[in-house]
Amino acid sequence: MKRELVERELTTEGPRRSRMQAGGRVTRTVTVNLAESPLSWLHARGHLDDRLFDAGEKLRGDYERAQLPPSITMRWDPVRVKSTGERGLSPSERQIAARQRFDGAIGAAGRGLEDILWRVVCAGEALPEAEKTLGWPARSGKLVLRIALERVAEFYRIV
């Protein structure tokens, strides 16, 4: 896993960049890995078991394979005439298949749970930020995310 460590000031709202206080004192800081996804953070600290983590990673993989994230530039991938992809599928067909799996997994999660799945798993938004954006009480997102990931794991048939 890629590591991108930075020092952040510890505040009541969560970590932010370090600052010097009046009088030259430095406030208490923590080291944060910016490359770590919220899903892997929860898994590493025992809040998600392997099954739910794998379901989230599978969903994120399909999201990226379907090329759903916003793109800021034109794609300059070479055009392939002969298909050498998975099971004889062309790149476009693999993209369509990933989109169908992603839509199926989001649908299996159920109405109201797709927001937290997309924000935390696909967009990489931290749970406290997602809770605030969705207008949920603090610390409720973890429970709702677990329920959503259980349903996604069932969809992907992860045991």
3-state secondary structure of 9: strand
- Same domain as 45, residue 1: no
Q: Which has the closest alpha carbon to 59: 131, 118, 129, 4?
A: 118
- Same domain as 31, residue 57: no
The DSSP H or E segment spanning 34 is: none
- Same domain as 147, residue 122: yes
Token pair 């790149």: residue: 91
The number of domains in the chain is 2
pLDDT tens-place string over residues 31-66? 767 668 899 989 988 999 999 999 999 999 999 999
- The model's pTM: 0.72
- Same domain as 83, residue 22: no
- Same domain as 41, residue 12: no
- Same domain as 129, residue 152: yes
- Same domain as 44, residue 1: no
pLDDT tens-place string over residues 101-157? 999 999 999 999 999 999 999 999 999 999 999 999 998 999 999 999 999 999 999
The DSSP H or E segment spanning 30 is: strand 29-33
Q: What is the dihedral of CA 69, 70, 76, 80, to 10 degrees?
A: 40
Domain that holds residue 5: 1-36
